[in-house]
Amino acid sequence: MGSKTVSPPGTKVTGDYIEEVMLSVKAKNSSEPEFHQAVQEVLESLRLVLAKHPEYREARILERVVEPERVIMFRVPWFDDQGKVQVNRGFRIEMNSAIGPYKGGLRFHPSVNLGILKFLAFEQVFKNSLTTLSMGGGKGGSDFDPKGKSDNEVMRFCQSFMTELWRHIGPDTDVPAGDIGVGGREIGFLFGQYKRLANEFSGVLTGKGLGWGGSLIRPEATGYGCVYFAAEMLKTRKESLEGKRCLVSGSGNVAQYTVEKLLDLGAKPVTLSDSSGFIYDPEGISREKLGWVLEWKNVKRGRISAYTKQFRKAVFTATDLAKDSNPLWSVEADCAFPSATQNEINAQDAKTLIKNGVKLVAEGANMPSTLSATKMFLDAKILYGPAKAANAGGVATSGLEMAQNSARLSWTREEVDDRLHKIMTAIHDTCYVTAERYGTAGNLVNGANIGGFLKVANAMLDQGLV
């Protein structure tokens, strides 16, 4: 087998292998900046690996791992409540199945496109590998916006979406879960339609309701896991979360349970946000206030700005898209937990966070920091927990849900939480030790990328050219 990269026509030959793979990714996947960003970050870490392992280059593992095994894109027609026809686009990216069935969430948000889902699916491959469970990587979703839709509209959309998707998935093939815009309600409608079409009751989706195959702690898992990961990072500096002021962005699933676990560990969360703006509560978001947020967001489906009407000391700042920074990150704090969406922390925000003395950033959201923001955190040597490690608790607990479904058993809350905690500690250890082994102690970005890659790459070598 030759070892030279085959570049599409017009791609520059630079003599730098990683650069050439990157140029080829950009040429083949133009107009997908988020995908380029995710690949670039991983490939830069892998420079350290390729120097020690020529066999990966020989087998073109990098060129193969950036190419999805399969991309499914489909029409999703549905009737709205006025009887008008609506048409959305559905996707499933089956990225890599070297270490298990494809696994990853579905995102329903108007910003969804092929490039965003490819970035998420690519990240998912390494994240799932880090969990120590047998799960390949995938991601899917639609540009459908559940905001402002009635329950019946959401149901009709989910049924139409699943009418195409069901033939591509299965408990041993591809197991989707929730993500932005896909929570318990949507998983219920999707599961119902799958069951009807496939004529089987199986663990084909995770995030299911407790009464029909769901796992305790799955709703809490990403947020709890992210805080467990943060606590592990702090331990390496002999510190804890006790008394720390914490910034949390978003107010959905990940943000809500990040706040809950921060409270459990004695920290003081002071912010939450949604796409309209953020609230700052100088007195802290207590358990009682969080209870109000859960009801408001998950049942009434309201906007976070209403928090200030309920809790008068809090202040709401509306989103200003003309600004080149996000003012949430200028609130003074010790720790930051971005839990909304990709690229919500840019270089300017990172500068502000570092200037204000933030000593820890743990990413609940996927790729919330731009490449330059990430570099600034690493250069400043603050504790920086990258998404594919810090938010892996969600998919890990999905893996535990799959295990319970296969065994037709339900574990207790304590048992699942204990397993989640142990997995997050193990992921932190893997990242920490791998970063050290490759000569970049403390750099958990390298630790996570390399740690996640090795298991997948070795499985690909073992399984031949498929």
Active site residues: 139
CB of 276: closest distance to ligand NDP in angstroms? 6
Which residues lie closer than 8 Å to 319 by C-beta, 6 or more apart? Answer: 275, 276, 277, 278
Structure token pair of residue 269 = 């969360």
Instruction: Give the Cα separation of 273 and 283 in Å (integer).
Output: 16
CA torsion through residues 324, 326, 331, 335, sign:
negative
Q: Which is nearer to ligand NDP, 5 or 341 (CB)?
A: 341
Instruction: Give the Cα separation of 425 and 433 in Å (integer).
Output: 12
CB of 346: closest distance to ligand NDP in angstroms? 13
Structure token pair of residue 406 = 């296969």
Instruction: Give the Cα separation of 93 and 415 in Å (integer).
Output: 32
Asked if residues 136 and 102 have their Cβ atoms less than 8 Å apart, the reply is: yes
CB of 179: closest distance to ligand NDP in angstroms? 5
Q: How many CB atoms lie within 10 A of CB 200?
A: 10
**Helix ranges (DSSP H) in 148-215:** 151-165, 184-198
Q: Which is nearer to ligand NDP, 174 or 179 (CB)?
A: 179
Instruction: Give the Cα separation of 35 and 48 in Å (integer).
Output: 21
Q: Pick the closest to residue 261 from 368, 19, 253, 39 (CA basis).
A: 253
CB of 327: closest distance to ligand NDP in angstroms? 13
Burial class (CB in 10 A: 0-12, 13-18, 19+), 374: buried
Which residue sits closest to ligand NDP, CB atoms considered? 252
CB of 298: closest distance to ligand NDP in angstroms? 9
Q: Which is nearer to ligand NDP, 269 or 394 (CB)?
A: 394
Residues that bind ligand NDP (CB under 6 A): 109, 111, 178-181, 183, 222, 250-255, 274-276, 339-341, 364-366, 391, 394
- Nearest-10 Cα torsion for 455, 457, 458, 459: 80
Biggest CA-to-CA distance, the chain: 68
CB of 66: closest distance to ligand NDP in angstroms? 20
Q: Which is nearer to ligand NDP, 68 or 250 (CB)?
A: 250
Q: Which is nearer to ligand NDP, 109 or 428 (CB)?
A: 109
Q: Which is nearer to ligand NDP, 23 or 203 (CB)?
A: 203
Q: Which is nearer to ligand NDP, 267 or 365 (CB)?
A: 365
Instruction: Give the Cα separation of 394 and 420 in Å (integer).
Output: 9
